[in-house]
Amino acid sequence: MSTNGFDTKLVKDLAKILRDSELSEIEIDNQGTKIRVTRQLNVTSYVAAPQVAPVQNYAPEVSNSSPVANVEAPKATSSNSANNVTSPMVGTAYLASEPGAKPFINVGDTVKEGQQLFIVEAMKTLNAVTATRSGVVSAIFVKDGQPVEFGEPLCTID
């Protein structure tokens, strides 16, 4: 089937492949004609990084019992501060290894260089964010389940 020289059957076939597989995007280039079909995936899985383990369902929620939920996240005073730990990528920041678990860090905690502070999930991949230096956590700028940008300050270690 063709509409104005465009093969709609091919697009439908590609969409079916996406629907039937774990793929989120297909792109083909045929003699200079490019067709890209994508679908948005709802990310609902979350396990402690960097483990490779069966995935638990995770729907981030903020309750009044959460120590972070009762406090408005402070704004970073200097996004270029050498003491800030920043997000290595665009994704979703998590403060604990699983729902209901104790957060990796709290304000006032002493951390060591290399200690895990957060998880940033991007495209179903869980990435551990570790301390770049030893010190005391003086501020946490994100809430559990909050979207973050590349380079966005997550916390400050003094």
Walk me through the domains of the chain, giving residue ranges and CATH numbers.
2-38 (no CATH), 42-158 (2.40.50.100)
What is the rounded distance in angstroms from the CA atom of residue 38 to the CA atom of residue 26?
A: 6
Instruction: Judge if pTM exceeds 0.85.
Output: no
Mean pLDDT, rounded, of the chain: 75
Express as a percent the part of the chain with pLDDT over 90.
41
Of the candidates 8, 153, 151, the residue with the CA atom closest to the CA atom of residue 16? 8
Instruction: Identify residue 141 by its one-letter amino acid code.
Output: F
Positive or negative, the CA dihedral 105, 107, 108, 110 is positive
Q: Which of 15-24, 65-74, 146-155 has the highest mean pLDDT?
A: 146-155
Which helix (H) or strand (E) segment holds residue 79: the answer is none
pLDDT in tens, 17-60: 767 766 667 777 766 677 777 765 544 444 444 444 444 444 44
What is the rounded distance in angstroms from the CA atom of residue 106 to the CA atom of residue 34?
A: 49
Given a contact cutoff of 8 angstroms between Cβ atoms, the answer to whether 71 and 144 are in contact is no
Stretch 104-124: mean pLDDT: 93
Residue 93 — pLDDT band, cuts 50, 70, 90? very high
108 DSSP assignment = T
Which helix (H) or strand (E) segment holds residue 52: the answer is none
